[in-house]
Amino acid sequence: MADELGLSAHPTSMSDLPTPPAEPDPRWTPAIATVSLGTAEFHTLPAKIEAAAQNGQRGLELFHDDLAQFAKSLRASSGSQAAARTDRDFEIDAAHAIRELCEQKGLQVLALQPFRQFEGLLNAVEHANRIEELKHWTKLCLILGEDLFILIPSSFLDDSQITGDRDRLVSDLAEAADVVFPVRIAYEALAWGTYINTWEDSWEIVKRANRPNLGICLDTFNIAARIWADPTSPTGRLPAHADSDLTESMHRLVREVDPDRVWMVQLADGERVDPQAPFLRVPGMPELLSWSRNARLFPCEEERGGYLPIRQVTDACLSKLGYTGWVSMEVFSRSTMDAQPSVPNDHAARAARSWRRMLQQLDSGE
């Protein structure tokens, strides 16, 4: 299967040589989001799977864009049979093939994401359509692995399309958890979410929904971006009180969050960019979202411009909280949009080096 789908068992150049993985840590298992290894348009999922495995990753956050692109390749090769089958049919086929590829490479699919713009929809028909799509995602998850979760990021639709009523948001997340059971759902607060944009917000919704298969995802970039950063400022950050605000928030996180309800911790830093960078000024797009899509970095990449207080946030989410489980690198970047075939391995190697550095920092208490 691997050779048929274009995977190579051997590096083709010095730049393709894998980065040795960090020594296994009994507390945390390293993973990477497929979006961190290149865009689906330019970089195939088999190439990403190979790169992740070669660089010591144990798990994959599978982006639906990658699965859908893989399904399109299966449709294209199916000839006359394609007309009689739906896109969802080919996504089911893709899920089976992806699981086989990952098992061959010693990888586990841990999540399918992102199930965007779900909670709080004012239009009942749109809500019903999203529930039907969620049922399809549940089928995909049951094929992809034994213990997956679906990641639902907080909605960032205009307030004319969604409500911020907490009772409604709780009801929607509870309904989603019931629909996908026994598959799990992780709810994540995006820094640019319309109504839910802090970990405190997402944790409140999860607690109130009170479903055994509903937990949260903690993301170092989103936490720091919301409470500390301002990429449009000459300093790259909010005023001085942001330091104390972040410290207090991390104290609350350690004190209030149940680590057994954290399905995953995602690691990423942010790049210090020119406040006038064109990609920050996209009409109709929140500046934090534009920054996130173009300028995330792997942790401990200060040499590339990383500057967020990620070490402090990571220490709280991992060591101090007492969380054990998957820790995934989730990096969106303009560098993933490069069409060069070396991108998946280059990014996987960077992730491996970043994980090693982060473990060293956590263990040394720096």
For the stretch 250-280, pLDDT in tens is 999 999 999 999 999 999 999 999 999 999 9
Q: Within 13 Å, how many C-alpha atoms sit on residue 327's CB side?
A: 27
| Whole-number Å distance between alpha carbons of 141 and 202 | 23
Q: Give residues with Cβ within 8 angstroms of 279, minimum separation 6.
A: 290, 291, 293, 294, 295, 334
| Whole-number Å distance between alpha carbons of 275 and 258 | 37
Residue 263 has what DSSP assignment?
E
Task: Reduce the DSSP state of residue 182 to 3 states and report it.
Answer: coil
| Whole-number Å distance between alpha carbons of 127 and 119 | 8
Full set of structural domains in the chain with CATH: 26-364 (3.20.20.150)
Q: Are 46 and 2 in contact (CB under 8 A)?
A: yes
- Which pLDDT tens digit goes with each residue over 91-150? 999 999 999 999 999 999 999 999 999 999 999 999 999 999 999 999 999 999 989 999
List the pLDDT tens digit at each of the 366 positions of the chain.
333 343 333 334 444 556 555 667 789 999 999 999 999 999 999 999 999 999 999 999 999 999 999 999 999 998 777 788 999 999 999 999 999 999 999 999 999 999 999 999 999 999 999 999 999 999 999 999 989 999 999 999 999 999 999 999 999 999 999 999 999 999 999 999 999 999 999 999 999 999 999 999 999 999 999 999 999 999 999 999 999 999 999 999 999 999 999 999 999 999 999 999 999 999 989 999 999 999 999 999 999 999 999 999 999 999 999 999 999 999 999 999 999 999 999 999 999 999 999 999 998 765
Per-position DSSP letters for 202-243, written without gaps between them? HHHHHHHH--TTEEEEEEHHHHHHHHTB-TTSTTSB--THHH
